Amino acid sequence: METPRERAEKLREEIRKHDYHYYVLDQPLISDAEYDRLFRELVELEQAYPDLVTPDSPTQRVGGEVLKGFTPVQHRVPLLSLDNAFNERELRDFNRRLKERLGDEAVAYVCELKIDGVSIALVYQDGVLMSGATRGDGIVGEDVTANIRTIKSLPLRLTYPLPRVEVRGEVYMPKEAFARLNREREDRGEKTFANPRNAAAGSIRQLDPKVTAGRTLGLLVYDILHLEGKEIDSQRETLEFLSELGFPVDRNFRWCASLDEVLEYCEEWQGRRHELPYEIDGVVVKLNSLPARQLLGATAKSPRWAIAYKFPAEEKETKIVAIELNVGRTGVITPTAVMEPVSLAGTTVSRASLHNYDLIREKDIRVGDMVVVHKAGDIIPEVVRSLPEKRTGKEIEFKMPDKCPACGSRVVRFSGEVAYRCDNINCPARLKESLIFFASREAMDIEGLGPALVEQLVDRGMVSNVADLYYLRAEELAGLERMGQKSAANLIRALEQSKGRPLHRLLNALGIRYVGLKTARILAEHYRDIERFSDIDREELMSIPEIGEKIAESVTAFFAEPRNWDSIHKLKKAGVNTVEPEFSMAQDSQFAGKTFVLTGALESMTRNEATKAIEDRGGKVTNSVSRKTDFVVAGRDPGSKYDKAVALGVTVLDENQFLQLLGRQAKA
C-alpha cells in the first residue's frame, strides 16, 4: 500500500508534469476535468494531513512559468489564480466563510462568466497603452506587448488620460476561430490545440507578432489592479468604469444580493453556455465590496474574496465502431472515429477526428473500445480517452496503411510532422477535397457544388483541376445522377455568379498552404491583381505587416509553379475575376450602416478624404454626436464633440485605430 506521503509526492510529480505541458508548451496531455481530479485529490490529502504540505506544492502556488525568449515582467500587484467550487455545497461553504468574517450585510456578490482564455495585465500611462504581460507564475510574467497590440478590441488609448491604470482581463479565441484554426492546422499536418484557451495562450506567446496578428483573438477586461486619479469601491463600479474607459467588458455579469441569486446565475449559464461565441468553463463569484475584500486578503495562490464555480465537464461514454481514413486536399490522411451516436452539449455526435496516428497510439484507442467523448472549444467532438477496463478482448488495434486508401500511392511522413500524407498530387481524393473547398462558402461560394456532385465529376474524368469547373456545360451536367435539367442550369448560374468574387476569395479558394481567408485578404489588399504575384519574392512579402516567413515561403512556392499559373490563366480565360476591387472590405466590415463623427485634425488625410473613405465602405458621416453615433474619430485638438462622445459612452477612435479599421497601415 502507498502511504499518504508517497501518494502526495506522486500526485505532485504528476501535476507538475501536466502544468509544464499546459502552461509552458500550451499542449496538455489530459483533459481539464482529469487534471482537476488529480488536483482535488492532492488538496484533500493535504487537508487531511497538513504536515504533508510543502511550500512548492502545486496547491500553494500559481501554475505558470516564463518562457525563454520573452522579457520577464514583475507584476506590481500579483496576478493570482482562483479557488474552485465544483458544486452547490462548496459555494455555500464559501458564502458562510465570508459571512462569518464580514457579517451578513457586507456580503453581496457580482457574478461574471469565467472566460476560458489567458490572463493578461495591461498598463496604461496617461491613457496610452504601455505594456501587456501574461500572468506567468503570478509574480513574474512575460512581456507580450507587441503581440497584444494586434488584438482589434484592445484599446491603445483610453477615453480619459488618467495618470496610471493597470487592469486585468482575459484574452480568448472565439469558438469559431478556434475551430477554423484547428482545421487549418490539421490540413497542414500540424498538431491541433486542445481547447481555445491553449490556442489563445499559444497565439499570445509567439516570438513573432505576425503570427499573433494572423489569429483571431478577443479581449474582455474584468478587474482594475491599480488606479490613480479615481476612487472606486465595488466590483460593479469597476466594471462600469472599465467600460467608460473604453475597455471591452462582458455585459453578462450580474449583481447578486444573496447566495440564492448566485446559484440561480450559475444554473442559468450552465444551460446557456452554448449560446456564447466564446467558451466559458464556469462562473466567477466575487465579493462586490472592495473595502471588504481588503479585510479578507489572499493566500499565495488565490484571493479569499472570490471563487470559481466550475461547470461539470460535458462528457459522454460511447463505443467506437470503426476508424475511417480521409484524404484531405493537401494529402494529409486523417483518421476519424465513427461512434455509436450520443447526445452531447446540445447535438448528436457520431464522428470525431482522431487527428493523427500518434494520438491514437498515445491514447491507445482501438476499434470496439468504449471511450469518453467531449467537445473541444464547445464545438469539436473529440475522444478524450479510451476505457481499457471495459475491453472484451475483441477490440482491434489501429494501423496506418502504407498505401493511400483512395489511390493506392505511397504514404509518406515528413520529418517534424505528425501527419501521414498521400504522395500523389493527382490523387483523386485530394482533387475532390480541393474542389469542395474551392466551392465552399468562404471561398468561391458556388451553391449546389457539394461532395456528391464533386465525387461524380472527378470519377467520370469531367474535372481534373479547379478551372475545369468553369468549362462544364449544362448538357453534360444534366446527365449526372440526381441532376436533371433544372439543377444543371442552377449550377451553371451559380458558377457564373462566382466569377465575380473579389481576388481575396479566389486566393483563399486556391488552397495555398498557410493562406486562410484572413491572409488572403491582406495579400489581395496589397497586390490587388493576381498578375502581380508573378514576380514576388520572399523578402517583399515579409515586408507586409502580418506576413511571416512560413506564409511568404509557401506563397512564393505556389506562384513559382507553372502548373498553378496554367490553372489561373484558364480561370481568367473563363471570365473569373482576378483583381481586388477598392474597398472590398466594405461587404463585411464594421462600416456598413454605422454612423461616424469626425473631430480634430487627422495627419494622414483630410476631412473630405476621411468622409469618402467611410462612405465608400457603406458608413455615414454626421456632424453632431448623439446616442445613435457609433464611432467618433478624434484627431489632433479634438473639440467638444470628443467630450460629448465620452459623456455618452460612444466609442472614440484615435487616428491609428481609425486607420486600422480602414484596413490601412497605422502611421509610425
Residues making contact with Zn ion (CB under 5 A): 404, 406-407, 409, 422, 424, 427
Tell me: is residue 627 an annotated ligand-binding position.
Answer: no
Tell me: is residue 256 an annotated ligand-binding position.
Answer: no
Which option in Zn ion, ligand NAD, none does residue 195 bind, with CB closer than 5 to 8 A by kind? Answer: none
Work out the angle between the directed axes of helices 259-272 and 88-102 (0-180°, nearest 10).
150
**Considering the complex, what minimum distance in angstroms separates the CB of residue 430 from Zn ion?**
6
Which option in ligand NAD, Zn ion, none does residue 170 bind, with CB closer than 5 to 8 A by kind? Answer: ligand NAD
Which option in Zn ion, ligand NAD, none does residue 206 bind, with CB closer than 5 to 8 A by kind? Answer: none
How far apart (Å, rounded) are the C-alpha atoms in residues 610 and 598? Answer: 8
* Residue 263 interacting with ligand NAD (CB under 6 A): no
* All cell numbers assigned to 619: 458608413
Give 167 or 333: the residue with its C-beta nearer to Zn ion.
Answer: 333
Give 62 or 495: the residue with its C-beta nearer to ligand NAD.
Answer: 62
**Considering the complex, what minimum distance in angstroms separates the CB of residue 331 from Zn ion?**
7
* Residue 196 interacting with ligand NAD (CB under 6 A): no
Q: With residue 85 as reference, give the H or E element that holds it.
A: strand 84-85
Tell me: is residue 624 an annotated ligand-binding position.
Answer: no
Give 137 or 447: the residue with its C-beta nearer to ligand NAD.
Answer: 137
How far apart (Å, rounded) are the C-alpha atoms in residues 124 and 156? Answer: 9
Which option in Zn ion, ligand NAD, none does residue 63 bind, with CB closer than 5 to 8 A by kind? Answer: ligand NAD
* All cell numbers assigned to 199: 490556442
How far apart (Å, rounded) are the C-alpha atoms in residues 494 and 551? Answer: 31
Give 135 or 505: the residue with its C-beta nearer to ligand NAD.
Answer: 135
**β-strand pairing of 651-653 with 631-634:** parallel
- Characterize 194-204 residue by residue with b for buried, 16 or more Cβ atoms within 10 angstroms of its Cβ, and e for exposed: bbbbbbbbbbb
114 among known catalytic residues = yes
CB-based contacts of 535, cutoff 8 Å, min separation 6: none
Report yes or no: 83 and 302 within 8 Å, Cβ to Cβ: yes
Which option in Zn ion, ligand NAD, none does residue 404 bind, with CB closer than 5 to 8 A by kind? Answer: Zn ion
Interface pattern 284-313 for ligand NAD (x via CB under 6 A): x-----------------------x-----
**Considering the complex, what minimum distance in angstroms separates the CB of residue 110 from ligand NAD?**
9
474-533: which residues touch ligand NAD (CB under 6 A)? none
**Sequence letter at residue 483:** M
Interface pattern 32-71 for ligand NAD (x via CB under 6 A): x--xx--------------------------x--------
* Residue 222 interacting with ligand NAD (CB under 6 A): yes
Work out the angle between the directed axes of helices 196-204 and 175-187 (0-180°, nearest 10).
80
The size of the chain, in residues, is 668
* All cell numbers assigned to 278: 466564446
Residue whose C-alpha is closest to residue 146's, from 202, 200, 198, 210: 210
Tell me: is residue 112 an annotated ligand-binding position.
Answer: yes
How far apart (Å, rounded) are the C-alpha atoms in residues 261 and 259? Answer: 5
Which option in Zn ion, ligand NAD, none does residue 58 bind, with CB closer than 5 to 8 A by kind? Answer: none
Report yes or no: 120 and 133 within 8 Å, Cβ to Cβ: yes
Report yes or no: 310 and 81 within 8 Å, Cβ to Cβ: no
Tell me: is residue 180 an annotated ligand-binding position.
Answer: no
Give CA separation, 366 vs 398, 405, 547, in Å: 6, 19, 41
* Residue 22 interacting with ligand NAD (CB under 6 A): yes
How far apart (Å, rounded) are the C-alpha atoms in residues 76 and 167? Answer: 11
Give 219 or 613: the residue with its C-beta nearer to ligand NAD.
Answer: 219
**Considering the complex, what minimum distance in angstroms separates the CB of residue 113 from ligand NAD?**
6
**Considering the complex, what minimum distance in angstroms separates the CB of residue 191 from ligand NAD?**
15
**Considering the complex, what minimum distance in angstroms separates the CB of residue 409 from Zn ion?**
5
Give 30 or 173: the residue with its C-beta nearer to ligand NAD.
Answer: 30
* 117 Cα distance to chain centroid: 9
Q: Which of 114, 175, 301, 375 is catalytic?
A: 114
Q: Candidates 21-29, 95-103, 436-444, 528-536: pick the segment binding ligand NAD (CB under 6 A).
A: 21-29
Which option in Zn ion, ligand NAD, none does residue 114 bind, with CB closer than 5 to 8 A by kind? Answer: ligand NAD
Tell me: is residue 494 an annotated ligand-binding position.
Answer: no
Q: With residue 145 as reference, give the H or E element that holds it.
A: helix 145-148
Which option in Zn ion, ligand NAD, none does residue 433 bind, with CB closer than 5 to 8 A by kind? Answer: none
Give 404 or 555: the residue with its C-beta nearer to Zn ion.
Answer: 404
Please select the residue that binds ligand NAD; options are 8, 11, 28, 202, rule is CB under 6 A.
28
Tell me: is residue 385 an annotated ligand-binding position.
Answer: no
Give CA separation, 448 vs 452, 493, 584, 604, 650, in Å: 10, 10, 25, 46, 44
Tell me: is residue 310 an annotated ligand-binding position.
Answer: yes
* Residue 331 interacting with ligand NAD (CB under 6 A): no
CA dihedral 382, 437, 416, 20 (to 10 degrees): -40
Give 32 or 525: the residue with its C-beta nearer to ligand NAD.
Answer: 32
70-99: which residues touch ligand NAD (CB under 6 A)? 81-82
Which option in ligand NAD, Zn ion, none does residue 166 bind, with CB closer than 5 to 8 A by kind? Answer: none
Tell me: is residue 407 an annotated ligand-binding position.
Answer: yes
8-state DSSP, 241 = H
How far apart (Å, rounded) are the C-alpha atoms in residues 21 and 148? Answer: 23
Tell me: is residue 634 an annotated ligand-binding position.
Answer: no
Tell me: is residue 111 an annotated ligand-binding position.
Answer: no
Angle at CA of residue 151, ends 266 and 174, nearest 5°: 40
**Considering the complex, what minimum distance in angstroms separates the CB of residue 569 from ligand NAD?**
50
Interface pattern 99-138 for ligand NAD (x via CB under 6 A): -------------x-xx---x---------------x---
**β-strand pairing of 411-412 with 380-386:** unpaired
* All cell numbers assigned to 96: 458562510
Q: Candidates 22-30, 377-385, 627-635, 648-656: pick the segment binding ligand NAD (CB under 6 A).
A: 22-30
Sheet holding 218-227, edge to edge: 128-134, 118-125, 164-172, 218-227
Q: Candidates 29-37, 383-391, 477-485, 546-554: pick the segment binding ligand NAD (CB under 6 A).
A: 29-37
Phi, psi of 436 (to 5 degrees): -65, -40
Which option in Zn ion, ligand NAD, none does residue 30 bind, with CB closer than 5 to 8 A by kind? Answer: ligand NAD
Q: For the chain, first and last CA: distance in Å?
A: 67
Q: With residue 260 as reference, give the H or E element that holds it.
A: helix 259-272
Angle at CA of residue 298, ends 131 and 14, nearest 5°: 85
Report yes or no: 291 and 101 within 8 Å, Cβ to Cβ: no
Tell me: is residue 82 an annotated ligand-binding position.
Answer: yes
Report yes or no: 198 and 117 within 8 Å, Cβ to Cβ: no
How far apart (Å, rounded) are the C-alpha atoms in residues 54 and 60? Answer: 8
Report yes or no: 429 and 410 within 8 Å, Cβ to Cβ: no
* Annotation: binding site for Zn(2+): 404, 407, 422, 427
* Annotation: binding site for NAD(+): 32-36, 81-82, 112, 135, 170, 286, 310
Query: Where in the sequence numbering do the catalytic residues fall?
Result: 114
* Annotation: binding site: 32-36, 81-82, 112, 135, 170, 286, 310, 404, 407, 422, 427
Question: What residues make contact with ligand NAD under the rule CB under 6 A?
Answer: 18-19, 21-22, 28, 30-32, 35-36, 63, 81-82, 112, 114-115, 119, 135, 170, 222, 284, 308
